[in-house]
Structure 1
């Protein structure tokens, strides 16, 4: 039996039992196979495991185990068998993995299992399971943003398809949950009866989230961000890349009101754009070049090494410009939907960087993440928000007092989604 044949035999066996057996029986069978290497119901599964062990390739074992995990987890998640997921993930914390044994084969198996339990892949598995665990409340502050932390799992083509599908489905569900709870909070918090009951605010922004929503939604009609994005795309259709970059900079800083922030954005992004892909300066802009350009600007605004915050990110947040940064990022996505997963992956990078610090030291970053979530829930998802003013003046004439008196209405809509159709032919680039 070859190594690929052995791996496939294990995958087929696990897939067959997870579809037909109760979770507790599947858990027992998995533990017998991988933790004790004893004969299981699956004919040949132990011999397949021995083939992998005798190949003496830790990475191949790791890959086999990882895909095996997500075959089970993905199926349980689809069938809402969440308790099984939590029990399964806890198996890898068994002290048995560090217990001494005289058997060389069992010793190798336990060492490789323990190595997996200490890996980033197992950390991602625990992140997935934490959303279904009663202990989720004890997770670090970063666990609140699991919908973003899951993105690198499903955008990484090196991950097993089962892991990618599970991560994508859970991320989508968490975003939908936030979106729904935000709409419900917005609706009920403005009702008179809300004064007599405590409403669940899905954000960490307190009552100020209503003012934030009003400030974002107030930009509508011909001056809405979505309409300005459409207008920009129409105007740059025939431009060469050099002129496209100049127009892109003006588009991004338009509607930023702080003069010092406009100056900083023009300086940082202008230098970045001037030096970006000069070999294409005289070429027309196709979708691939547009995507790469937007991704490079996202890097400059967020993290250029995918590990630490960029200078511009730190500068904008230190000046209290969380909303301005969120809007600039939104404007990039409104002209290039394909850049949305890339943006969220960079959000995940920043969360991973800051999670090493206590929550109280990350207040400004958490504030940005909350503003970002709200902004994209309003503009980038399938909920439509509108303002109703008690006055007859047009939105362009509204004062702060008028805006404060407005009521926000939301409704579910179909058709527009910045994340795009999963089966679309949008180009991708990292």
Structure 2
């Protein structure tokens, strides 16, 4: 649906518009004093210069000299800048500077494919020098602040950037979902632009790698002559992943999810907001078994949520901003409403063993409003973090949902096309399609990516 020109009714602007507005004025805003800002800029410019000209190991050594050792370096101006930051006694601004410096290096090394340098940078915070005793009060404060950074969520976010190089840790099942854990970093506008860009790039790379590995697994597993030649399954679903993909791909033609989304978008063009909410409820529960307990719970909760949602706008003509906000609120109802704990509806749907119903409803929302996808993935990251405290055995039902979600959204990705091809003729006409008679074929396609925060 095309956004109307000018300002949205009642100033209800889309998330994309708000982000663009904030980003456009970001250079004019500084959280600290002019002295702190200038000191930080000195550091940033120095690192930008050397990361483009020096060898990675020389840059890393200089980074350690600045933040770990505070000793002589080729740039006494940069050393003095760090010294001044510590002297000004603002740990928050120091941490912001340290974090941004890390992401300046990560972005440049990633662009130059210097992946080991990124690993070495993250690992450098384990340097015993940080914990060494110091006589100078300034050096003591510096070491204390660096140690605090190492024990903070900022450093945990930094560690995600080594995920692509490390084999998945057997004890940390959440490492399989790093592409989602990175999303909160790039949707959080308070993060440095370098961090947001690095997180978005790595998340995209990990998703593309999963889509490629899944396509290769499908192709080779159907033609492997022996179990020993089977490729590694990139999912935790075992052999069931093939039947899952066949079932998803088999839903084609008039009732495919993409086609239903296009029909829905065309039908809502002239509706007001209240009529849109009524149509959205019907669209989301279409094809769900209406007699099942989980369908009744889903329909009841959606009806309750939509009726009261932005009710002041019920008579207003529909806009992209309203669609985006509505889809985001429904996504929260289906995942987590307080960004800490699973929502009641999420728990009900999964506890009754119906992850596919939830996944398809979420897919339907993204198909009518692609701008909601990053919000959905950020919500998924919150759920992963919530269940991180449990062992893989204790939250198998959640992992099953995450795997089905991952596969389903990979199948509906814009640069992969999956098709079913019948390989043998059934002897007798059957009332239902026998998926065993079909094979899956995938095709990777070039893609022109939309702007990250484009409207629905």
Same fold (TM over 0.5): yes
1:161-205 CA distance string (max 9 Å, x none) = 111111111111110011011111111111152545132111110
CA 46–390 in structure 1, closer or farther in 2 if over 3 Å, else same = closer
Which of 18, 25, 46 is the equivalent residue of 2:79? Answer: 46
Counterparts of 2:399 and 2:170, CA distance in 1: 17
Residues 401-420 of structure 1 mapped to structure 2, 5 A cutoff? 402-414=434-446
1:71-97 CA distance string (max 9 Å, x none) = 111211222222221221122122333
Match of 1:306 in 2: 339
Which of 152, 156, 168 is the equivalent residue of 1:123? Answer: 156
Match of 2:240 in 1: 208
Which of 195, 207, 211 is the equivalent residue of 1:163? Answer: 195
1:137 aligned counterpart, secondary structure: coil
| Contact persistence 2:371–2:453 (CA under 8 A) | no
Provide structure 2 residue ranges, at least 5 long, that are not aligned to the other structure. 1-33
Which of 26, 40, 56 is the equivalent residue of 2:89? Answer: 56
Counterparts of 1:109 and 1:117, CA distance in 2: 12
Which of 38, 45, 51 is the equivalent residue of 1:12? Answer: 45
2:138 aligned counterpart, secondary structure: helix
Counterparts of 1:172 and 1:185, CA distance in 2: 20
1:96-144 CA distance string (max 9 Å, x none) = 333332211101101111111111000000121233236x535611011
| Contact persistence 2:249–2:419 (CA under 8 A) | yes
Residues 97-108 of structure 1 mapped to structure 2, 5 A cutoff? 97-108=130-141
CA 130–412 in structure 1, closer or farther in 2 if over 3 Å, else same = closer
RMSD of Structure 2 on Structure 1 (CA)? 1.9
Residues 266-285 of structure 1 mapped to structure 2, 5 A cutoff? 266-285=299-318
Match of 2:231 in 1: 199
Normalised by the size of structure 1, how large is the TM-score? 0.93
Which of 413, 421, 426 is the equivalent residue of 2:450? Answer: 421
Q: Confirm whether residue 95 of structure 1 aligns to residue 124 of structure 2.
A: no
Match of 1:30 in 2: 63
Match of 1:151 in 2: 183
Match of 1:337 in 2: 370
| Contact persistence 1:188–1:194 (CA under 8 A) | no
Query: Offset at 1:376?
Result: 0.3
Match of 2:269 in 1: 237
Q: Which has the higher contact order (CA 8 A, sep 6+)?
A: 2
Which of 245, 250, 255 is the equivalent residue of 2:287? Answer: 255
Counterparts of 1:392 and 1:193, CA distance in 2: 22
Counterparts of 1:381 and 1:39, CA distance in 2: 52
Q: Confirm whether residue 172 of structure 1 aligns to residue 198 of structure 2.
A: no
Counterparts of 1:411 and 1:329, CA distance in 2: 24
